[in-house]
Amino acid sequence: MAGRIWDDFLTERDKQVFVKAGYGQRAGFGERPALIVIDVNYNFCGDKSEPILDSMEKWPNSCGEDAWLGIDVIKKMLAVFRDKGLPVFYSTNDFRSDGFDLGGWSLKAGRITEDLEREVDGNAILEDIAPGDRDIVIYKQKPSAFHGTPLVDYLVKLGVDGLIFTGTTTSGCVRAAVIDAFSYNFRCTVVEDGCFDRSTASHAINLCDMNAKYGDVVGSEEVIAYADSLDDDLFQLPAGNAGVS
């Protein structure tokens, strides 16, 4: 695992343990992939690229400037997946305005109920990467996009065998979704430069752990080349909601 983003955070003993255990073998993409964009909304990205501590004044859960670097990568991936007719899924949160359904979030996130002056809904997916008419949006209330949602049903309907994960946070909702996908026996790929977190250490260590046990952590260029190599229109995607009343 030489030369990886997490190397600076591991002790020499840690590195030897991963090697001796045989972790980190390449699982592969599968043959019928879908792109999953996890929680790239205003709450987690802010409304512009700025240092994280500045962004958090208005958006307490923002990942700051790292979010916008990841968004640039996600844009490129979306263009390729849509051009090839490959499935694209988004997730974002959906809570009642009175906070009744916040559950454990209200116990751990001290600023989650703050009433801040903002021009857009924090759970709205960023306009820069807004879902297309044939993309599918999954609304959730827990970290994993699989928990209490129809995501698995849609993946089975489409015949997906591999999932490409992007978004935020690497240590939270991305990791939770990857572990659930792994548990359902999907091949999992995490796009290293297409995921982001509030903490540099959390980002690196969770990429390390996912790469060791649950999926392959690779760069976006490799994923784009793989997607581009596939046949066009492998899937029968939704026709789209345009014109449906």
- pLDDT at position 157 is 97
- 82-121 burial, b at 16+ Cβ within 10 Å, e below that, comes to bebebbbbbbbbebeeeeeebeebeeeeeeeeeeeeeeee
- pLDDT at position 94 is 79
Low-confidence ranges of the chain (pLDDT < 50): 1, 243-245
- pLDDT at position 240 is 86
- pLDDT at position 93 is 87
Residue with tokens 């703050």: 114
Residue 129: name the closest of 88, 170, 101 by CA.
Answer: 88
- pLDDT at position 122 is 87
CB 78 within 8 A of CB 135: no
What span, in angstroms and rounded, lies between the C-alpha atoms of 54 and 60?
10
What span, in angstroms and rounded, lies between the C-alpha atoms of 9 and 30?
30
Backbone angles phi, psi at 228, to 5 degrees: -70, -20
- pLDDT at position 238 is 93
Fold of 26-43+69-103+124-229: Rossmann fold (3.40.50)
CA distances from 6 to 24, 210, 215 (A): 13, 11, 15
- pLDDT at position 173 is 97
End-to-end CA distance of the chain: 53
Helix (H, G, I), strand (E, B) or coil at 48: coil
Q: With the C-alpha atoms ordered 148, 151, 152, 156, is the resulting torsion angle positive or negative?
A: positive
CA distances from 155 to 12, 30, 239 (A): 40, 14, 16
- pLDDT at position 11 is 96
Report if pTM > 0.85.
Answer: yes
pLDDT one-digit tens code per residue, 166-225: 999 999 999 999 999 999 999 999 999 999 999 999 999 999 999 999 999 999 999 999
Domain boundaries, the chain: 26-43+69-103+124-229
- pLDDT at position 117 is 67
